[in-house]
Structure 1
Amino acid sequence: MFREETSQSKKTLRLNKRITRLKALALKYKRAEITQNALLEISNSASSVTTPAEFYSSLHRTINRLIPADNFFIATLNANTGRIEVPFFQDEKDVHPQEFYPDEDLSDTLFSGLTGYVLKTEQTLICDDETYHRLLQANAITPRGSHCHQWVGTPIKSVDSTIGVLVFQSYDSDTVYDEIEIELMNFISHHISGVIQRLQNQEQLEQAINTRTKELSIAYNKLKQEVYERRRAERLQKSLFEIADLANSNIDNQEFYSEIHRVISHLLPVNNCFISLLNETRDALTFPYFVSQYDLPSPKPRALSDGLTEYILLNNKPKLLNRCDIKRLIESGDLYYEAPELNDTQEINQWIGVPLFIHGQICGALTIYSYSHIQNYQEKDLELLTFVSQHIATAIEKKQSEESLKLSNELLEEKVNERTKALASVNQDLEKEINQRKRIERQLVHDAKHDNLTGLPNRSMFMERLTQAIKHIRRHSLERFAVLFIDMDRFKLLNDTLGHLEGDRFLIETAKRLKQCIRNNDMLARLGGDEFVILLDSISGQQDAEDIAERVLAELSKPYQLANQQFKSSASIGLAMSGQSRSDTSESILRDADTAMYQAKSQGKGCYAIFNHGVNQQQVKNLKLENELKNALIKNELQLSYLPIMALDSEQIIAFEPRLFWHHPSLGKLKQAQLNNIAEHCHMVIELDNYLLEQVNQSFHSMQQQYGNQFQLQVPISSQHLNHKHALRALKNRIKQCRFNISKLTLFFNEKQFVQNTDNHISAFDSLNKLDVKLGIEAYGSAYSAISSLIFLPIQTLKLDPSYVAHLESKQHVKLVKAYFKAAQALGLEVFAAGISDSKQCETLQEIGFTNGQGSALGNVIELEQEKDRVCA
């Protein structure tokens, strides 16, 4: 009986064990099924979502159905930057780490905590209170976030690295994560690494596409603007050509003015337009042309009064007025006070009036206006019309001259007819007519090959003669000839200051002087503008041509008497010799002479240069000099000097302009201008400027000890710093690193570079102005930029181009300097004069109103000793 019971117990025990194993196996299969379903759901979600945020939200929902995951976040490691990011975060106590630690870097914060510990160890971490305190005592982590009951971090591993961490935590002691949940999370984290990398790559690709799309859009808009500006410039050029053709056309006045109106209409909308001219006594107005969109009658000639046209003539400058401006002028009594019957401006929306000048004197006005609010003119339209008006005035002047000449010819013809009728013999009359026709034919032949202004042979005749000379020396190889290409310096300045009539007188006088320098068998011709060319025929050698070039330079350097004052000029001459090549042609020899002329200009003007086929040797020398400059900058061999800037009345030093110089072992002392030229050729302008700023920074303390704390620094600097955002950022950083008060520093940029790239300067000046550094324009007047362009610049100072001070003996130059000074005063700008070389210039500048300046007459350059072991940053 006992044996039977014992046997029955053993069977029962074995059955219980088998039931336990079956339950464990069923639970294992159940977990496998749950895991499989979870992975399937995650896989389906990964294939359907388009952004990482959607995937992480779906992943969280799936995990939350498997284990308690109300407090859950995902941290990923950016492969490009090496920084931790948190694309998904949900917690019942804490906010996102970025908000929890707003003053800290998110990546550094996570790296110092438990998340960073898992990334470093690449192992799953189950952290309870005991583990947490052990890690704190070992300085392995820094306390982060709120205290929790249990914290679990599972690394997300790729093939060869850990790319993130899955983190879930519980604040409730009833919620405990065991090995089953952790094993499940390890399994899930292993299978989602590929999805995370794919979504990250997709997001990076989309960001790259968006960035590239924006770049292409910006480039397209910029190209579109360039095309618009180019088309606008082409329209303007075409219009100017048409105006010039109209001046020489044989049409009546009404058709002439109608064509002027048509040309202007191509540039801007002009539905209402009229031209008014002063009479010879300048006390009345005539209106040779008037057009209105409402077909109003043309105004009749009238005496000068206080109308809008007279307002423009009185102010002597272009004006853009809207209805409110006109109403305010009428209310203030400036308009239509004396003649209210002339006021027909009630319906006018905008009104533009531009004075017309002939021989520097106002002769009338060009006026356009609009009635519609849809059609609005802007300041750029005023500037455009002002520019075109100069050419219109020239065309009107030529037209009037032609009419006067035509009237004189008609009167002359009448007298000739009267005398012809008095002749007794018909044969004598006929012979006179025949002779007259022959003279006309000879004149026509002469005019076709000669310049109308100077009477010299033109290009066509010169090229024929040059071709004959080439053929001659090919038959007579021992004979030689030379070509001198002459270009007058500063002719554009003469035209702008004294006018085209004085410019024509200058060219005629130049032609007379050149004739005195050559022989009868030589040929002098005018190619056009201020370009002349000489063919020296049958010379013995190059020395003969150089002697003639020296004679021409001496003759043209003598003062000219123009507009009751003296004007000094000079010339640049290019010399080309025959026999340099068997393939020489008239065009190639003239081109060689032209090339040599530009070499002369680059050497400083007022000299001549001989065309040399071995110019490569000079380029080698230039390259050597550029390399020497690079080494000199590295070795800190350039030294610093200071040019004092003084008050003109007391000669008190108010500022210094720092300049570099270099004692070259073979070329001697090279000054700042020469160093700038070398640096420009070898693309080291920015490096040279940085060297200058560093030397100023190092020497400022010693200068302050010697000259006190009141002086300012005026540093000229290249606009290349403004061409790229990286260069501008580097310049701003260098300014911030100055060891003296930045408010004492004024950076000067060249006007020519400003004109070439105005938009870049405006943007960069706004950025630099925020640093409390002052800004200025130097060499002002050298590029003839519009005064209106200064309105858009946050500048405080202008420095006049030295060429204006050098010619203060000219009344026209004095007027121009006064204009610049008053314009700068009106804009609230401080003006400095540069290049003062004598006391008379100083007195003239003070009479104009200048108070400060620099130059050889105001103190010597101060040279500083340089420490040999100092290294330039």
Structure 2
Amino acid sequence: MSVLILSLALAAAAACSAWLYRRLRRLQSELDAQTAGAAAALVQAEGRRIAQRSSGEWLLLPARSAQEALWDWDLADDRIRFSARWREMLGLPPEEVLTVADEWRSRVHPADRAQVLVDIAAQTAGTGDRFSSEHRVRHQSGRWLTLQWSGLIVRDHDGKAIRVAGSVRDATAQRSVEEQARRDAFYDTITGLPNRALGLDLLRRAITRTRRQGERRFAALVVDIDRFKAQNDALGHGAGDALLQAFARRLGTAVRPGDVVARLGADVFVLVLDAVHEPDEAERVADRVHLLLKEPLRVLSHDLVITASIGIALHDPSTETAADYVRNGELAMLEAKALGGARHVVYRAEMREGVRHRASLEHDLRTAIARGEMMVWYQPVFSARDGATTTLAGFEALLRWAHPSRGLLGPGEFVPVAEETGMIVPLGTWALGEACRHLMALAPNGPHAPWVSVNLAAKQLADPALIEIVDRALDVSGLEPRRLRLEVTENVILSDEDGARRALETLRARGIGILMDDFGTGHASLSYLHRLPIGSIKIDRYFVGRMDVSAECLEIVRSVITLAKSLSMDVVAEGVEQEAQLTQLKALGCEHVQGFLLSHPLRPEETRAMLAPALRVAAS
């Protein structure tokens, strides 16, 4: 009996005062077998005195913190009393006293009321003595506060909860900081969409649901904006973020309720389509994205029509992780880009084999120069003046890779890898030095000595050491600067036109020729002719190859030759493979031609025989 009395007294004391609670605890610890009766009587008396203390006295006790309010809820009468701090916390007038519990409950956020009732019912119906709850309460101004409630439950002899008392503190600022930290960790700051971490987590959940539900299917679509950098550069600072925001909003209208749109990084997004029953459903969503993008996006003060490349990774039981689905989608997206963009491609297993092949190629490429596997071949360029087609004018240097297991590889098979990995800079530096050295060894400097043209990639043109690299190649070989031509394409210039112009003007001032390759295939080739120090134009093989079957291509070739002559520029027509094409080019006044009809690319030693007549002419 004494133990029961002591427990009730302890509960009452804990509900009223921390110091009384500790006092009774000390009394309990002093009980022993000899004095149990006397001590129990003392505790019973102490408990009665505590129970007689009114709730008003309780509310006058100091809280653990000056920022906390105290409360005392009589469950039988359903009346709740608060300390003055409660009124301050909610912005209530000093004279307003809330005693009816319904008035407090009416201030609870509608979305939280059900959970508050569950908290109260579950904790008072049990046997514990602790109460806790966190929910939002309306401030007098109308804003919502997040409040943390903690207290002790007082029970009668039958264990029924009759009273709850404790303290409440304002956790609004803390929760705001935590929410912001959560958003920073899982949401993209520019678009507000789930970021890569949360996007992958949501994709993992889709995988888990599919495994549990058997027949359920999903799809992941990786979406990349076509020519995003060019759009960003054209619009100026800040436009990129605005474009991403507008694009994200447009993507959100393309998906269905329950689907996910997340930003993986840069201009790449992922759509996680839930409950995809047929593969066609994923492609229909991709079609919807393409259709929606036909309408201009409003970016700052501009209306932009953009396109996107989409890779679709359908559910596959053999694909285990979210990262694998994204990787598969990216592979399909890259193929869509390679096909010209503005389309979607569904991932196929053989794409992964292509990645392994590419990775192996990249590994081998890193040591190819050191192992002596790289070679420079030369395709002759002939003069077409006065109807002559046998006079050698120069060479175009072309890279070849004698791969130990894959055989002889052309530049199209490894140069893209070199450009993506940055290895194009050391590779291009080596090729430039080799071309200058070979040409000087085959044909000494002289009035009629042939020239050599060497291609420059974007990373080479952007390399601050480019001028020094070119100067060193000329100094070491002894080749005169006028015998070197550097070929650039519009795509190379697009990455940094101002930087490209400065570098090309410096090279041109040294007497080095600048040649624009693939002329006519870009969007702004004509505008570059007066903005850049271009001395020669190379007409793309596509137009040359169709001159005899397409009136439009013939007219383009004619216009380019006429334009070049008016600007005192040299013209080289590449891809000449038929006599009819050669005849037409001569008639149009094209100055130089190259192609398989005249000569295939040659090894360095094969060029010596071709150079012999030219050298004899120069000697005479």
- Shorter-normalised TM range: 0.3 to 0.5
Larger Rg: 1
Could you state the TM-score of these two structures normalised by the residue count of structure 1?
0.33
Larger RCO, structures 1/2 (Cα 8 Å, 6+ apart): 2
